[in-house]
Amino acid sequence: KETSGIAPRIVGLSATLPNPLDVSKFIGADPDSGLLVFGEEYRPIPLQQTYFGIKGSLTSVEKAASQSKAMCDCVIETLSKSKQVLLFVHSRNKTLKVAKFLREQLFKRGMADYLQKKTPDKELQQKSRLFKEVELRELILNGIGIHHAGMIRTDRTRIESLFKSKGIQIIVCTATLAWGMNLPAHTVIIHGTEIYDSRQGGYVHMSPLDVLQIFGRAGRPGFDKTGHGIIITSEEKVKQYVRALTHSTKIESCMMVDLPDHLNAEIARMSINSTRDAMKWMGHTFLWCRLQTNPFAYGITAQELRNDRDLHFFRLNI
């Protein structure tokens, strides 16, 4: 606004935001008339959340086995209540692998009856023949489907239709179903939180926003009184997800890491021409909002704060 003279209209939206007042201050929204916060009470169906933490002392093979057992137990418990399940995994190949494993476990435990279908067998057989992959046809007949972006659109649509009509009880899917489709189920399960990030060249844990988006599929309006979101992760990550998803972890600024780059960019576009300009510019950042609220998170000591209450010298020397 100060550079161009144009005052753009800014609308900030977030699925999870523990400190909305800081963000409203940052974008210049009036906290009384321009800030709207919708809590869990606005959710049409109450959400029950369950967190499983797999012990870090186990070997990778033992961890995978423990995760799979926890996942199977959760699926069986849900099916025993005649409810449907969306089971989220993190790769296309894993959808088929986990679906076959799940079918094997249900049959091995003598619980295949839990996969009872509402669609008549003859009709289901006819519909299953429409799928190209033989393995997928067999899974459909056992009440299990898979869903990922690599499938052709018609197959994905058929899977969604069968799930809505209760022809299948379980869909093993990737996160594309959560972001691009309104297909709710009573229970959603996140089977592990490690995903491969090509930009970082390794595995990272899912963001709380992705978890929240998936949990948003839990509970079917008009059919369920409650929804159930289950996350199976490592023991050390459980607390982090609980804090993030219960809005107890404040959002902090990451600007300090790249502050020289941001300052250089502003200097290059001639919006900063002096130290005074730089200090004024910083006063418009989210970093400044959080510095005033939580200075200790940015390396400021209690002694420094006593000597520099308005953080004038901190900004000058930063």
pLDDT tens for residues 209-257? 888 888 988 998 888 889 999 999 999 899 889 888 877 678 899 999 8
Could you tell me the domains of the chain?
43-245 (3.40.50.300), 252-317 (1.10.10.10)
Residue 286: CB atoms within 10 A of its CB come to: 17
In this prediction, residue 4 has a pLDDT band, given cuts at 50, 70 and 90, of: low
pLDDT of residue 292 exceeding 70: yes
pLDDT tens for residues 39-79? 878 888 899 999 999 987 778 888 889 999 999 999 999 99
Mean pLDDT of 26-49: 89
Distance CA 40, CA 36 (A): 13
Task: Quote the percentage of the chain above a pLDDT of 70.
Answer: 96
Mean of all residue pLDDT scores within the chain = 88
pLDDT of residue 115 exceeding 90: no
Distance CA 144, CA 166 (A): 10
In this prediction, residue 118 has a pLDDT band, given cuts at 50, 70 and 90, of: low
Distance CA 123, CA 62 (A): 41
Distance CA 162, CA 117 (A): 10
In this prediction, residue 264 has a pLDDT band, given cuts at 50, 70 and 90, of: very high
pLDDT tens for residues 147-168? 998 999 999 999 999 999 889 9
pLDDT tens for residues 168-215? 999 999 987 777 667 889 999 999 998 888 888 888 888 888 888 889
